[in-house]
């Protein structure tokens, strides 16, 4: 069962719990939340790139030893 209802301001999607495993549903919801945040974002593409770079650098600084421990 898949049911879609639309109004001028909303879309309601209904389906059986058996339609999608909980992990996939969680991924779908997270993806939709991310798209909503991106749509509201005032970041320029360059600012987003710089933020991404900074996050990756910080992750590497904080996790390098643990990550390399698994390889060595």
Residue 52 falls within a domain, yes or no?
yes
Residue 46 falls within a domain, yes or no?
yes
* DSSP H helices in the chain: 22-40, 45-71
CB of 1 closer than 8 Å to CB of 16: yes
Residue 13 falls within a domain, yes or no?
no
* pLDDT at residue 72 is higher than 90: no
State which residues form the domain around 54. Answer: 42-72
To the question of pTM greater than 0.85 for the whole model, the response is: no
pLDDT above 70: percentage of residues in the chain? 99
CB of 12 closer than 8 Å to CB of 5: yes
- pLDDT band for position 4 (cuts 50, 70, 90): very high
Q: Read off the pLDDT of residues 29-52 as tens digits, 9 standing for 90 and up.
A: 999 999 999 889 898 989 989 999
How many separate domains does the chain show? 1
Residue 15 falls within a domain, yes or no?
no
Residue 56 falls within a domain, yes or no?
yes
For residues 12-46, b (16+ Cβ closer than 10 Å) or e, as one string? eeeeeeeeeeeeeeeeeeeeeeeeeeeeeeeeeee
């Amino acid at each position: 069962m898949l049911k879609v209802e639309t109004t001028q301001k909303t879309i309601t999607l209904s389906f059986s719990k058996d339609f999608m495993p909980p992990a996939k549903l969680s991924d779908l919801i997270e993806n939709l939340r991310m798209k909503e945040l991106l749509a509201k974002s005032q970041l320029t593409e360059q600012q987003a790139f710089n933020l991404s770079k900074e996050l990756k650098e910080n992750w590497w600084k904080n996790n390098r030893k643990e990550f390399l421990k698994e390889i060595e």
